[in-house]
Chain A
Amino acid sequence: MKNTSDHYAHTIVDYVKSVAIIDPSQTIPLDESLLEAGILDSFGIVEMLTFVESKFDLSIPDEDMTKDKLGSIRRMAQYVHQRKAG
């Protein structure tokens, strides 16, 4: 699974579970905005993007900061996968 989109999604989920100040029984959705799902606040979203950039050694340009590209964990994982593959 290493370096596949699923691998990246799994890593991001693990990160969210470890840092989100939430009830431990809360499920982390893959296809929903974590902001809208009430998992992270706006600070948490910025922190998660910081994690993605530093963990996967990427710099995300402003023009890619869109809901389409990064609006859920799955989209984020696909974005990382495409960037790493390209």
Chain B
Amino acid sequence: MSDVQICAKCVLPSTFPNITFNDNGVCSQCEAGEMTHLQKFNQRQRDEFQRIIGATKGKKPYDAIACYSGGKDSTYMLKMMVRDFGLNVLAFTLDNGFITEQSKSNIIKVVDILQVDHLFFKPSSQFMTRMYRQAIIGDLNKPRGNYYTRISDVCLSCISVVNTCAARLAMQNRAPMIFAGFTPGQIPRAVIKNNHLYYRQTYSLHQSHFQQQLGEEAGRYLNLPEDEYEMYQMSPFLVYERSEAFILDEIRELGWQYPEQLDGCTSNCALNVVGNICHEIIYGFHPYALELSKLIRKGLLARDEALQKLSLTVDEHVTQRAFVKLNITVDEVNQLNTRAA
């Protein structure tokens, strides 16, 4: 890996697909610069975000479902929802079997202080283990076309279950909005309507692929009821851009504490490191390199901090424990580099 070039401005490596570098070592994605009318687009996003909150607030028992992982971003998001937007929130946490004890303690403290209704949902650990194994070793998230996944295969499978749970809860409670703490590097729009171009179509493609790979049981976690209920996916960090330092400062007063023994790109999940390791082996680049690079370009993260996040290692025993829990052997991990081909 010593001959891998890293962009002089962001953290994208020369192993990233389609990337080129200029004479100053700056990558093609940094060179592309901002879109011509980005400021106006951002203003329209802000207006739309606020308009939807104004139009939907107070009409149902819950204004919004919050996807609350217990990490720093979703914790701050929950605080914004309650204190800044004045929303009635039903928060839920998918317990994927790898949420650290410190994270669970953070969740309980935070929802209590913010006086938010909250649910833990823990799918069958047998199913989740099978799904993660299939995501890493099998074909669950193998590129279905010609693209590579932009997040790790493990995270992609997990977020699919989270998104389905959120949509189901919104439908059951007729909540008009779903909030998620995606960063500006993780999602391109602040508001996505559930009937947005291809949303339903791609959802069903995704669903049937999961069922082919994991059997009928997958439907229990990934099927959406036939329901035309319209809701909005809201990503507040695209409208209210906040630095990590600001967020950490803001959530300290809620009693939130940084969990130990995690890699530099998560603040709640001990499985993340497995996804990172496997993604690097299969695709040759860190799954967070793209997202962190976008944050650097937006001025929300310093390049040095991003490099530190990408290189922060986790105690080997912790990583091993996660692999053992997933029933994945060292040999299987070593064979992953044949998968991208």
Contacts and interface: CB of A to CB of B under 8 A. Distances in A.
Interface of A: 17-24, 26, 35, 37-47, 49-51, 53-57, 59, 62, 65-67, 70
Given A17-B18, A43-B187, A46-B189, A55 B36 contact: yes
Contact of B148 (A17, A21, A37, A50): A21
Contact of B28 (A18, A46, A49, A59): A18
Given A21-B149, A53-B41, A59-B44, 6 more contacts: A20-B18, A22-B146, A35-B202, A42-B199, A46-B189, A56-B36
Contacts of A38: 143-147
Nearest to A19: B29
Interface in B167-214: 187-189, 192-193, 195-199, 202-203, 206
A43 B36 CA distance: 21
B197 A65 contact: yes
B18 A45 contact: no
B309 to A, nearest CB: 20
Contacts of B245: none
Which size class do B's interface residues fall under? 35 or more
Contacts, number: 97
A72 to B, nearest CB: 12
A41 B44 CA distance: 25
Given A54-B35, A57-B40, A22 B147 contact: yes
A57 to B, nearest CB: 4
Interface string B135-149: 000000001111111
Given A35-B198, A42-B198, A47-B188, A18 B147 contact: no
A55 B143 CA distance: 29
A56 B198 CA distance: 22
A49 B41 CA distance: 12
A53 to B, nearest CB: 6
A49 to B, nearest CB: 7
B1 interface: no
Contact of A39 (B41, B146, B199): B146
A59 B42 CA distance: 11
B61 interface: no
Interface string B88-107: 00000000000000000000
Given A18-B32, A24-B17, A55-B35, A46 B41 contact: no
